Structure 1
């Protein structure tokens, strides 16, 4: 009977059920409440989060190549790619499959985006992908 468990584990791994959680490093200002809510959203959606309190967010964004027009309050890094702002977890998970993108961003702080929930009010917003050549494209609209 012990072989039955090995077969079950092999089947789970083959179907992707036993995938390891993706890890994202999040850099945020120490006084930001919405950043903490966004981190909660990521964790609730299966991502492992390393939370870094950073007093100089401008330097972090500049180091990672986040254009000022794409800026928001916090910045993540997953598999060497930047995640700027209130990006939904589903888009972060898809980023790993996009070799053509060096990062994604939700500019500003749109109401209703993950971490910015305020009752029923929801602003329309886009997730912007950035290529290695710094070209921008809309990868999702909400």
Structure 2
């Protein structure tokens, strides 16, 4: 009986994990290596990624409402909200809890952010939330070295 209950608990845990998995669409330039590395970061953190190679990223960003001040190299879309640049997977979870945000961004390409790991160097960076009102809000800060 104990083995049966443990097996049932294991199945329930797997079922909950499957339900928790989120799908994100990522739009990227075909020649960008850091974009592929960020996609790997997302997959390593449980996301299902639909990878879209896009020859005109400017048009994608404009269509999704990503302001130029927030721009980076790739753009994700999850639940109708944008994820611009090298946003850590843990911060993407914030979007589900924040209906007041239209999206998240890590502007530029900070060294040491997910997908931009190159040795031990890390730049300080912020994750910026764009509110429904169009204002920027710092959602998280990461220290450099």
TM-score greater than 0.5 by the shorter chain: yes
* Deviant stretches of 4+, over 6 Å: none
Aligned equivalents of 1:138 and 1:19: distance in 2? 29
Q: Does 1:23 align with 2:26?
A: no
Aligned equivalents of 1:124 and 1:111: distance in 2? 8
Q: How does 1:1-142 map to 2 (within 5 A)?
A: 4=5, 8=9, 12=13, 17=17, 19-142=19-142
Stretches of structure 2 lacking an aligned partner (at least 5 in a row):
none
RMSD of aligned residue pairs (Cα, Å): 2.1
TM-score by length of 1: 0.90
Aligned equivalents of 1:77 and 1:30: distance in 2? 18
Once the two structures are superposed, residues 73-113 of structure 1 have per-residue CA deviations (whole angstroms, 9 ceiling, x without a partner) of 00000000000000000001221111110100000000000
3-state SS of paired residue (2:50): strand
Q: How many matched pairs?
A: 140
Aligned equivalents of 2:43 and 2:131: distance in 1? 27
TM-score by length of 2: 0.88
For residue 51 of structure 1, report the CA deviation from its aligned partner: 0.1
For residue 133 of structure 1, report the CA deviation from its aligned partner: 1.1
3-state SS of paired residue (1:19): helix
For residue 12 of structure 1, report the CA deviation from its aligned partner: 3.7
Aligned equivalents of 1:105 and 1:28: distance in 2? 15
